[in-house]
Structure 1
């Protein structure tokens, strides 16, 4: 399978931030049960979700961890002509305190309101451990992919430090990224996350993933990319937003 197809599938997973989680129904055996969930990617590039202990899909996963997450491009005039990804996985609830802490730190940046209900109510982090992926890039572009996820070398202290620095000291640069990519500017954007291939901006409740011109594997390369974009006259790639 071509590297480009895998990259396109992964970028779709990055561009979106919510999907349809399908589980095996406990109440109605034999029937699939679909529900909408927000997600971000963990340090291994796997989908990370925060779900209530009383939710139907949680009960389903506790009985059978096999599930899928359907992610598709929104606002498409023809949904059959655009990309969509079915992410087949085995769900696992995080139990290690350090893993939960790391998950919470990243998830809260993407979904700030989650801090309140996670701490006040019975919610747990679950990671969707990928098994296989079905990616459709448009008419006739149909592929089974075994490996789509890519580990994030910055996850943890390095990413948190870069995000905090940009949001605290470089609001003008972030505003320039918004202007370059034609994103909504009604409220100031905040940097939410950085990965090898791009960065996430949070504008209000919406998240947008913007690609770097070339992959970044070290914090120095990220800094160079961010500085270059702060002075650019156009974005090196046309970003696709999820809103």
Structure 2
């Protein structure tokens, strides 16, 4: 019992605080997207984003495959990952993977206008141009659940509020 208590305490002390997750998002200007089409064919891409509360917003064109996949309401996976040039160990890059539910924001709605303003403040005047193009739509990506990794043996479940829940795996990596 004492050994279990010691292990639980070590896990609690090692658990990163939620600001680490939010710091990773804050250091990132774009997200890596994984979507699938109606036949289940995967597509990976990226999009600049803004975060308002816990929702991620992307302004994307129907010229990109991921836009139709998202507009059709298929779940998406969103990846935030530490820059390769900043990592100490390429196999253990800090990363946050989120399963997200997409929804399209109605053009010229109150939400549309607020998010477009935030996108322009974050990414520049190009947003004025592309937001007027009819093939661009605004997608909200609402986090459902995810995982945060910040090193070997340091993987955690994340909830819809991007808060760390618990250690993801109580079984350590196994040697041959």
Q: Structure 2-normalised TM-score?
A: 0.75
Which residue is equivalent to 1:202? Answer: none
Aligned pairs, number: 147
Give the alignment of 1:34-53 within 5 angstroms. Answer: 34-42=44-52, 44-53=53-62
Moved over 3 A (4+): 1-5, 147-150
Task: Report how far residue 115 of structure 1 moved.
Answer: 1.4
Contact 2:70 2:139 in 1 (8 A): no
2:121 & 2:153 partners in 1: Cα distance? 37
Distance in 1 of aligned mates of 2:134 and 2:123 = 16
- Residue 117 of structure 1: CA displacement? 1.7
What is the TM-score normalised by the length of structure 1? 0.55
SS, match of residue 65 in structure 1: coil
Paired with 2:19 and 2:160, the residues of 1 have a C-alpha distance of 10
Task: Specify whether residues 149 and 134 from structure 1 end up closer, same or farther in structure 2 by C-alpha distance, changes over 3 A only.
Answer: closer
Match of 1:25 in 2: 37
1:57 maps to what in 2? Answer: 66
Whole-Å separation in 2 of the counterparts to 1:98 and 1:39: 18
Equivalent position of 2:95 in the other structure: 84
Q: Distance in 1 between matches of 2:118 and 2:89?
A: 33
Bigger fraction of residues in strand: 2
Please provide the CA RMSD for this pair.
2.2
The question of whether the paired residues in 2 share the 8 Å contact of 1:50 and 1:124 is answered with yes
2:21 counterpart of 1:12: no
SS in 1 for 2:17: helix
Gaps of 5+ in 2: 1-10, 164-176
Secondary structure of the structure 1 residue equivalent to 2:63: coil
Q: CA deviation at 1:102?
A: 0.5
Instruction: Determine helix, strand or coil for the equivalent of 1:118.
Output: helix
- Please say if 1:66 is aligned against 2:75: yes
Instruction: Work out the CA distance in 2 between the residues paired with 1:56 and 1:100.
Output: 22
> Which residue of 2 is the match for residue 153 of structure 1?
none
Match of residue 146 from structure 1:
159
1:110 to 1:17, Cα distance in 2 relative to 1, 3 A: same
**Contact 1:10/1:148 (8 A) holds in 2:** no
Q: What secondary structure does 1:54 align onto? A: coil
Query: Which ranges in structure 1 are unaligned for 5 or more consecutive residues?
Result: 151-243
